[in-house]
């Protein structure tokens, strides 16, 4: 989709049948679609869909049904109130932006509760850094870093677990974790899928190319947008075939995971293509390197400005979940933006 409308303008257009609401949400809608192939890109007004060839029109109608369909809420995520915020809690000594800052039980617990009280819907806890160049840690070390926090927090607030390892997932689920967030796209540990199938837990499929240790060593794509779209489509079809029946699945294109600046910007700029897969979209844009690469000499360590700018853009493209470090600052900016839109 393209030509998104937001807020009051969107409501007026939807009510006059001039635009199509995203996932039943009248406050964000669109009046054009884009048909993208590996050789062309064509923009079409929604009232011209009937002019397409029979086979293309059939596929577009199938995709539009997925795009229009209201999403079922789960794990404290509300897909009408866009965006949901996943607060980041790294309990590691070496994460790219805040390594060592919260890796004690007391500091981690305090920070998690602060993010939740600021308005985060769910807190994503990780005990292994997956920054570019990082090395794998063993199960014992990873679990030791997160065990106390998970035991304590899961009784108080919704949490997701950022891990690639099936044994860590199994332990976390037993303590009440609400979502599994696997940055490897379920490819790192072959037992992962069996855990997800057994416990029927919601999960994130993230795209990444390579491993954290080598993923930024000259990543290449034929077409990053369509290559990643095809990855999700194949993965979802496979999961359905092996018996994962629920639709509590989130897709994440994996900004910075085996992507250079050109790839990241193309993915963010065209993020709405992933709505036609029919699942909520999560984007981890917070403090990422692409902000530094664009900002150049104006870059700061926290990169809050770039995070806010890209987050508002993603929100206006209908992205349902943003994975964020600076929860209070981001939500403040969104509240101000929405108020301005409402009164414009």
First to last CA, the chain: 24
3-state DSSP call for residue 220? coil
29-40 core/surface letters (b: 16 or more CB in 10 A; e: else):
bbbbbeebeeee
Residues sharing a CB contact under 8 Å with residue 40, sequence separation 6 or more, in sequence order: none
Q: Is 61 a catalytic residue?
A: no
Catalytic pick from 178, 288, 289, 303? 288
Angle between helices 261-269 and 224-241 (to 10 degrees): 70
Residue-wise DSSP of 126-192: ESS--STTPPP--HHHHHHHHHHHHHHHTTTS-EEEE-S-HHHHHHHHHTT--EEEETTTT-S-TTH
Query: What angle (nearest 5°) sits at the alpha carbon of residue 252, between those of residues 248 and 257?
Result: 145
Query: What angle (nearest 5°) sits at the alpha carbon of residue 204, between those of residues 203 and 210?
Result: 130
Angle between helices 327-342 and 105-118 (to 10 degrees): 10
| CB of 126 closer than 8 Å to CB of 90 | yes
Left if phi > 0, otherwise alpha if psi is -120 to 50, otherwise beta: which for 4? beta
What residues form DSSP beta bridges with 283?
322
Q: Is 165 a catalytic residue?
A: no
Catalytic pick from 131, 165, 171, 323? 323
DSSP H or E run through 265: helix 261-269
Cβ of 329: how many Cβ atoms within 10 Å? Answer: 16
For residues 88 and 246, give the distance between their C-alpha atoms in angstroms, rounded to a whole number: 26
- Which residues have a catalytic role annotated? 288, 323
């Amino acid at each position: 989709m393209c030509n998104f409308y937001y807020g009051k303008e969107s409501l007026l257009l939807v009510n006059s049948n001039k635009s199509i609401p995203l996932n039943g949400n009248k406050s964000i809608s669109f009046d054009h679609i884009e048909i993208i192939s590996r050789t062309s890109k064509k923009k079409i007004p929604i009232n011209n869909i009937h002019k397409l060839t029979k086979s293309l029109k059939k596929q577009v109608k199938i995709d539009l049904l997925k795009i229009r369909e209201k999403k079922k809420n789960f794990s404290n995520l509300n897909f009408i109130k866009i965006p949901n915020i996943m607060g980041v809690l790294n309990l590691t000594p070496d994460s790219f932006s805040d390594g060592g800052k919260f890796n004690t039980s007391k500091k981690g617990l305090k920070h998690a509760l602060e993010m939740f009280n600021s308005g985060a819907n769910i807190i994503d806890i990780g005990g292994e850094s997956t920054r570019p160049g990082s090395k794998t840690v063993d199960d014992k070390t990873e679990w030791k870093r997160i065990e106390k926090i998970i035991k304590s927090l899961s009784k108080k607030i919704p949490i997701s677990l950022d891990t690639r390892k099936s044994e860590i997932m199994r332990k976390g689920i037993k303590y009440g974790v609400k979502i599994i967030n696997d940055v490897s796209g379920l490819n790192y540990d072959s037992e992962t899928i069996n855990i997800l199938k057994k416990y029927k837990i919601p999960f994130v499929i993230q795209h990444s190319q390579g491993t954290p240790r080598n993923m930024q060593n000259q990543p290449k794509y034929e077409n990053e947008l369509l290559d990643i779209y095809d990855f999700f489509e194949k993965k979802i079809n496979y999961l359905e075939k092996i018996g994962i029946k629920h639709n509590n699945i989130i897709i994440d294109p994996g900004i910075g995971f085996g992507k250079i600046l050109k790839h990241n910007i193309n993915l963010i700029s065209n993020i709405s293509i992933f709505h036609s897969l029919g699942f909520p979209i999560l984007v981890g844009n917070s403090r990422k390197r692409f902000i530094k690469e664009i900002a150049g000499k104006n870059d700061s360590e926290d990169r809050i400005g770039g995070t806010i700018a890209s987050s508002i853009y993603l929100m206006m493209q209908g992205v349902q979940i943003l994975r964020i470090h600076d929860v209070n600052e981001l939500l403040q900016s969104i509240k101000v933006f929405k108020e301005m839109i409402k009164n414009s």
